[in-house]
């Protein structure tokens, strides 16, 4: 009985301590919305599925481009940082995908836009986000946040016999040979941060829009896909290269 009452008092303290966040703003009405567009490219061309592209003299044809954008923050010109809650977004362009050995099908999807609402009114000059899933969520598929799901073919149970997320996946053919380029180790998680080209004012009366270019040529930069057409856990150094490509060259702010 004594234990129970101690527990109850601890619980009371904890729970009363957290109920204060609810009405910290004078009104939700002043909060704003913005849209991030991740515009997939092949060099200067628009990315497209099932279409031949020539990269360094070799023909590529892609069937899938998918990657997670997570843990988005926006930095106000006054230095305060707004962390977008539950920000796990699956960006993708893919043909229909057989999930769970074909037990069901994930439909063909094209998704380049992420709409973020509830942003405190202010002027922002920096955006930060990660490619992949942080280890807390990557290591535990039962923790749910944002768009994380076991059902979209971006978890892998047999792959490495790991139960975790695939961070990024690019599939297609190179000179007629199938290629698969995936990342997903906790060490492949990368955070990117960009100063915005101009300050952006966000409030209930504004419409704002950031565009980031995602260049597939840069994603595969430096990979010897002729020798190793499958980039996965068996070639960790190549996975690291892909993760580095995403964070250092493949994604740029265009406007």
List contacts with other proteins (CB under 8 A): 3, 7, 10-11, 14-15, 18-19, 100-101, 103-104, 139-144, 150-151, 155, 157-164, 233-234, 236
Helix (H) / strand (E) element for 93: namely strand 88-94
Nearer to other proteins by Cβ, of 12 and 204: the residue is 12
CB of 93 vs other proteins, minimal distance in Å: 23
Alpha-carbon distance of 190 to 133, in angstroms, equals: 9
Smallest gap from Cβ 30 to other proteins, in A, equals 23
Measured from the CB atom, is 86 or 193 closer to other proteins?
86
How many other CB atoms are found less than 10 A from the CB of residue 4? 8
Q: Which is nearer to other proteins, 16 or 26 (CB)?
A: 16
Q: What DSSP assignment string belongs to 191-254?
A: EEEEEEEEEEEESTT--EEEEEEEEHHHHTTT--TTT--EESTT-HHHHHHHHHHIIIIIEEE-
CB of 229 or CB of 236, closer to other proteins: 236
Residue entry with tokens 């598929």:
141
Interacting residues of 5 by C-beta distance below 8 A, sequence separation 6+: none
Select 112 or 134, whichever has its Cβ closest to other proteins: 134
Closest CB 73 distance from other proteins, rounded Å: 20
Q: Shortest distance, CB of residue 203 to other proteins, whole angstroms?
A: 26
CB proximity list for 147: less than 8 A, separation 6 or greater: 88, 89, 90
- Least separation in angstroms between residue 10's CB and other proteins is 7
Nearer to other proteins, 24 or 46 (CB): 24
Least CB distance to other proteins at residue 90 (A): 16
Instruction: Tell me how far CA of residue 220 lies from CA of 85, 171, 225, 249, in angstroms.
Output: 31, 11, 8, 10
Helix (H, G, I), strand (E, B) or coil at 208: strand
């Amino acid at each position: 009985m004594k234990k129970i009452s101690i527990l109850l008092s601890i619980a009371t303290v904890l729970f009363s301590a957290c109920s204060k966040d609810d009405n910290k703003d004078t009104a939700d009405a002043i909060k704003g919305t913005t849209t991030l567009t991740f515009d997939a490219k092949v060099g200067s061309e628009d990315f497209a599925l099932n279409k031949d592209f020539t990269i360094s003299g070799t023909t590529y044809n892609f069937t899938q481009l998918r990657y997670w954008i997570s843990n988005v923050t926006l930095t106000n010109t006054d230095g305060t940082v707004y962390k977008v809650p539950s920000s796990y977004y699956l960006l993708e362009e893919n043909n229909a995908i057989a999930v769970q050995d074909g037990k069901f099908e994930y439909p063909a999807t094209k998704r380049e836009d992420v709409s973020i609402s509830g942003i405190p009114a202010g002027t922002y000059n920096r955006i930060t986000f990660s490619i992949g899933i942080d280890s807390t969520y990557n290591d535990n598929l039962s923790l749910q946040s944002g768009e994380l799901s076991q059902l979209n073919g971006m978890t892998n149970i047999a792959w490495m016999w790991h139960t975790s997320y695939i961070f990024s996946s690019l599939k297609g053919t190179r000179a007629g040979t199938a290629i698969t380029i995936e990342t997903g180790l906790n060490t492949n998680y990368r955070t990117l941060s960009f100063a915005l080209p101009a300050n952006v004012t966000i409030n209930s009366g504004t419409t704002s829009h950031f565009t980031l270019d995602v260049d597939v040529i840069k994603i595969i930069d430096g990979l010897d896909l002729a020798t190793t057409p499958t980039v996965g856990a068996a070639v960790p150094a190549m996975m690291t290269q892909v993760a580095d490509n995403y964070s250092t060259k493949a994604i740029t702010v265009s406007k």
